[in-house]
Amino acid sequence: MISTGLQKLDEFLSGGIPSSVITDIYGANGTGKTQLLWQISINVIKQGGTVLYLDTTGGFRPERILEMQKHQKLEGQILDKITVSRITNTSEQINSIKNFKEMNFSLIAIDNITDLFSYEYTTEKSIFKKNSLFMKHLHDLSLIAINNDIPIVITNMVRNIGDNDVENMRKAIDLFTHIKIKLSKNSKKYHGEVNWLLNHHYFTYIINSSGLSDYSEDF
């Protein structure tokens, strides 16, 4: 198990992020999706593990990870334990895992799973190809998680439809993800919703220098 760094979320997940499954973190911009992914990555390294980080948006910020490390008073060269691969198109994303002959990582992190697919396949004629390639990609990731007994954690964006925020390519993702964590924000606080094994749980959190933390008034 890998701690998320959020006590309430870890309690609901019986200790944290499990191996052999895909965990999906999604929400609007500014809700802390990527920072939670970094926080989980740091917690893997604290346990002696290493991380393969696939960055499809150019959003990886080593200085922020070092800031989180400082505020958590952690020793060691954390960045040396993270292998970052900058992904610029869907072909690279699909083939990225194949480039690592020995899958000896403790965690695979992908930020963001759908961004490049939505950018490259924009026409009605390309929807079938986009969905087919994307579902094959998720299937391959699922096999990697199972065969190597490691967790895969992905982030994803949402689209605004009417008054609702809908996860991008949700129907395809739902087929292959086992834990779904939705992050959102209103005018007062950040809210999280986690779905696992047909159960739902809600939590609140704050974002500070050390990362995502539990909202103290909930205790």
pLDDT of residue 75: 85
Let me know: does 114 contact 134? Beta carbons within 8 Å: yes
Decide if pLDDT at 219 tops 60: no
Q: What is the pLDDT of residues 136-166, one digit of tens each?
A: 999 999 999 999 999 999 999 998 877 788 9
pLDDT of residue 98: 78
Do residues 192 and 204 lie in contact, with contact meaning Cβ atoms separated by under 8 Å?
yes
Average pLDDT over the chain reads 91
Confidence band of 101 (pLDDT split at 50, 70, 90)? low
pLDDT tens digit string along 33-89? Answer: 999 999 999 999 999 999 999 999 999 999 999 999 998 888 889 999 999 999 999
Poorest-confidence range of 14-18, 68-72, 79-83, 191-195?
Answer: 68-72
CA–CA gap between residue 1 and residue 17 (Å, rounded): 5
pLDDT confidence tier of residue 102, bands split at 50, 70 and 90: low
DSSP string covering 17-56? BPTTSEEEEEESTTSSHHHHHHHHHHHHHHTT--EEEEES
Cα torsion through 163, 168, 171, 174, rounded to 10: -110
pLDDT of residue 186: 84
pLDDT at 218: 60
74 vs 110, residue with greater confidence: 110
DSSP character for 218? G
Distances (CA, A) of 75 to 5, 135, 160: 17, 40, 42
Question: In the chain, where does DSSP find H-type helix?
Answer: 7-12, 33-46, 62-71, 90-96, 115-120, 127-148, 170-174
Fold topology of 7-218: Rossmann fold (3.40.50)
Question: Is the predicted pLDDT of residue 182 greater than 60, yes or no?
Answer: yes
Q: Encode pLDDT of 112-144 as tens digits.
A: 999 999 999 988 889 999 999 999 999 999 999
Look up the pTM and report it. 0.93
